[in-house]
Amino acid sequence: MTVELVAVEGEVWSGEASFVFARTTEGEVGVLPGHEPTLAQLTEAGVVRIDGTDGSSVTAAVHGGFLSITPEGVTVLAEKAELADDIDVGRARDALSRADESEPEGVEAKARAEVRIQVAESGG
């Protein structure tokens, strides 16, 4: 199936895949070819993993957006998406330490930083 991972800044990844995993506001979704058409909202701080048909795998920290599954393929439309190899773990750890959980924005910043660290350390 054809998969596109697109953020506001532009295309992050595209290609042929055998499996897509995403975290949505309704729960975790695993997508195989032939999946029922679906539109789902992504979590504010989540993980998307794409298993390519060539045996490769890419993992991204994704912040907000939508997952669209059609007979033609899967499109992940994210507000922000970073591939594991592009994440600066030091900066993510700094953001985590600065997050003030007493403010709603701080709770979201903490969750985003934690996901970025998780994805980067997974080596996606």
| Alpha-carbon gap, residue 113 to 62, rounded angstroms | 11
In sequence order, which residues have a C-beta less than 8 Å from that of residue 86 and are 6 or more positions away?
Answer: none
Flag whether pLDDT at 29 surpasses 80: yes
Question: 15 forms bridges with which residues in the sheet?
Answer: 3
Average model confidence (pLDDT) for the chain?
92
Give the domains, in start order, of the chain with CATH numbers: 2-83 (2.60.15.10), 87-122 (no CATH)
The pLDDT score that the predictor gives to residue 124 is 56
Per DSSP, the residues of 51-117 read EETTS-EEEEEEEEEEEEEETTEEEEEEEEEEEGGG--HHHHHHHHHH--TTSHHHHHHHHHHHHHH
Give, for 28, the enclosing helix (H) or strand (E): strand 27-31
| pLDDT per residue as tens digits for the range 57-101 | 999 999 999 999 999 899 999 999 999 999 888 888 888 888 876
Flag whether pLDDT at 26 surpasses 80: yes
| pLDDT per residue as tens digits for the range 62-72 | 999 999 999 98
